[in-house]
């Protein structure tokens, strides 16, 4: 496993984007613990916003971890962490096509980031053995699964939170 | 870097807990991109619930990624991902001391999990260079930082979400 693993799939840089040299070695290792099955096999087919998508998708957890699902069925919503294995990792400023100007990677939810861990809050419909039926995810079929966590509204829900650059942009469009 | 990295610090198993053999190799690598500075140096000193803690803590991002903070200051809340480097990774059923009976790892927010990635929704107070002042985090001092994401209420906030096993337990205590 080399830090250059995904270099061959890295797209070219857009005007205004900034890349950095990444460290020569990794600091920790991840296990892929399952796969997320969705109907989308190309990035352009994925829903732009996971919240907009009611498509039912499936988490297929490796049998090894089956016992770890005990009591998960009592949760209405889960936080799913997954690995964006096709994303480059070296961009610190990005110019998403639909925005036009650059912004920092940590102000974006783009898959392109030093550690391409994506996060979705999903609705849990059903648990059958090691298969979980979920809604509100927008990733490619066969995306590697990293973690499943119960969603606690008391600490995870902040209905009044705002992303200023995004709100300002929405206001300008009015 | 070996999957046995943390074996020596693994505590013993409690009654009812179940461990599995983890895979022999990792599937992907992580960079530590900074550190989270908190007043807590022992696990027993950490707040039990990040939401309860108003203590101001600091994210110290590596200078390498400084440009990635552009426009982060416009966010009121962030999702912070960090690495629980002292946690064992092989337990699929856990018996937290304060619950008494076992439950699956994926129904818990315990640091003990196959990929010990922790997640906190934090309030952002201030960005000064590569230092971010935040509230609502409960980790040990010097915890490795993995990612910072803007919190979008439209997709991340689910005020009506429930964790059944936790709610039932709260009701029993009444």
Nearest to B159 among A1, A113, A157 (CB): A157
**According to the model, what pLDDT value does residue B127 have?**
98
Q: Which residue of A has its CA nearest to B120?
A: A156
pLDDT winner (highest mean) among B63-67, B95-99, B136-140? B63-67
State the average pLDDT over residues A161-174.
82
State the average pLDDT over residues A125-138.
97
- How confident is the prediction for chain B on average, in pLDDT? 90
Main-chain dihedrals φ then ψ at residue B4, nearest 5 degrees: -90, 10
CA B32/CA B144 separation, integer angstroms = 6
Q: What is the complex's ipTM, to 2 decimals?
A: 0.91
Give B19 to chain A, closest Cα distance, Å.
10
pLDDT band at A8 (very low <50, low <70, confident <90, very high): very low
Q: Which residue of A has its CA nearest to B138?
A: A155
pLDDT digits (tens, 9 = 90+) for B35-55: 999 999 998 888 877 777 889
The reported pTM is 0.92
Q: Is B75 within 8 Å of A162 when comparing Cβ atoms?
A: yes
Residue B159 contacts residue A155 (beta carbons within 8 Å): no
pLDDT band at A4 (very low <50, low <70, confident <90, very high): very low
Chain B residues inside the 8 Å CB shell of A77: 158, 161
State the average pLDDT over residues B112-140.
97
Main-chain dihedrals φ then ψ at residue A127, nearest 5 degrees: -120, 120
State the average pLDDT over residues A140-152.
97
* Side-chain-facing half-sphere of B56: CA atoms under 13 Å: 7
**According to the model, what pLDDT value does residue A6 have?**
46
**According to the model, what pLDDT value does residue B112 have?**
95
pLDDT digits (tens, 9 = 90+) for B66-93: 999 999 999 999 999 999 988 999 999 9
Q: Which residue of A has its CA nearest to B77?
A: A161
- How confident is the prediction for chain A on average, in pLDDT? 90
Q: Which residue of B has its CA nearest to A103?
A: B70
Nearest to A74 among B28, B70, B165 (CB): B165
How is domain B29-153 classified at the architecture level of CATH?
Beta Barrel (2.40)
pLDDT band at A174 (very low <50, low <70, confident <90, very high): low
Give A46 to chain B, closest Cα distance, Å.
16
Tell which B residues from 34 to 73 touch A, by Cβ distance under 8 Å.
49-51, 64-73
Q: What is the CA radius of gyration of chain B?
A: 17
Q: Is A28 within 8 Å of B121 when comparing Cβ atoms?
A: no
Q: Which residue of B has its CA nearest to A24?
A: B31
Q: In A7-162, which residue ranges form alpha helices assigned H by DSSP?
A: 153-156
Say yes or no to pLDDT of B7 above 60. no
**According to the model, what pLDDT value does residue B39 have?**
95
CB-CB neighbours of B11 under 10 Å:
10
Domain residue ranges of chain A, discontinuous segments joined by +: 29-153
* B7 three-class SS: helix
* Side-chain-facing half-sphere of A8: CA atoms under 13 Å: 2
Say yes or no to pLDDT of A165 above 60. yes
DSSP A75: B
pLDDT winner (highest mean) among A50-64, A108-122, B89-103? A108-122
**According to the model, what pLDDT value does residue B81 have?**
98
**According to the model, what pLDDT value does residue B49 have?**
74
Q: Is B152 within 8 Å of A160 when comparing Cβ atoms?
A: no
**A119 near B CB under 8 A:** yes
Say yes or no to pLDDT of B6 above 50. no
State the average pLDDT over residues A117-122.
97
Q: Could you tell me what percent of chain B has a pLDDT over 90?
A: 72
Say yes or no to pLDDT of B101 above 90. no
Tell which A residues from 81 to 110 touch B, by Cβ distance under 8 Å.
81, 83, 85, 89, 92-93, 102-109
CA A166/CA B149 separation, integer angstroms = 13
State the average pLDDT over residues B154-158.
96
**CA of residue B120 relative to chain centroid, distance:** 6
Q: Is B158 within 8 Å of A156 when comparing Cβ atoms?
A: yes
């Amino acid at each position: 496993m080399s830090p250059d693993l995904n270099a061959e799939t890295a797209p070219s840089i857009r005007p205004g984007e900034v890349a950095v040299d990444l460290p020569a070695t990794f600091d920790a290792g991840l296990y892929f613990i399952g796969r997320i099955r969705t109907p989308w096999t190309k990035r352009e087919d994925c829903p732009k916003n996971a919240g907009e998508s009611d498509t039912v998708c499936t988490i297929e957890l490796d049998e090894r971890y089956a016992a770890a699902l005990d009591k998960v069925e009592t949760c209405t919503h889960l936080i799913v962490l997954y690995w964006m294995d096709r994303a480059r990792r070296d961009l610190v400023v990005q110019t998403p096509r639909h925005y036009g100007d650059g912004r920092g990677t940590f102000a974006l939810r783009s898959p392109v980031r030093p550690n391409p861990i994506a996060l979705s809050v999903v609705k849990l419909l059903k648990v059958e053995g090691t298969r979980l039926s979920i809604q509100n995810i927008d990733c490619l079929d066969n995306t590697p699964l990293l973690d499943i966590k119960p969603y606690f509204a008391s600490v995870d829900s902040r209905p009044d939170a705002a992303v200023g650059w995004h709100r300002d942009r929405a206001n300008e469009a009015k």
